[in-house]
Amino acid sequence: MEINQLHVLLVCNLGASTGVMVTKMKEIAQNSEKLKNTDVKIEAHPAGELREHIEDFDVILVGPQIKHQLKHLSEIAAEYNKPIQVIDTKDYGTVNGANILKDAIILKMNK
């Protein structure tokens, strides 16, 4: 199944810790044959700014360091009918942008 748009919002505590992940994920998306015709946008913002940005994104990924906020963030995501999940701790810790990007694609396709 081909997707023509993949807009991923990563939310974390201050938006800084996911900056490295965003860079890695963008690099992987740009070099991906499967995503070459896909409009990809990946950004990181603090969890407190979720409402300000959520409408511009297809899926929301939550940094594992703030998974304790998932219930609250999920309620916001539900208001906008956006899928949300916590980023795998191991993938986050090893900056495995490929796996996280794959999770975002699966999350969007299963919406």
Enumerate the active-site residues. Answer: 12
Q: pLDDT (tens digit, 9 = 90+) per residue, 32-72? A: 998 989 999 999 999 999 999 999 999 999 999 999 999 99
Query: Where are the domains positioned within the chain?
Result: 3-108
Across the beta sheet with 39-46, the strand order is 39-46, 5-12, 59-62, 84-86
Query: Quick one: pLDDT band at residue 16, thresholds 50, 70, 90?
Result: low
CB–CB of 43/12 below 8 Å?
no
Q: What global pTM score does this model have? A: 0.94
Residue labelled with tokens 């939310």: 11
The radius of gyration computed from the CA coordinates of the chain, to the nearest angstrom, equals 13
Fold observed for domain 3-108 = Rossmann fold (3.40.50)
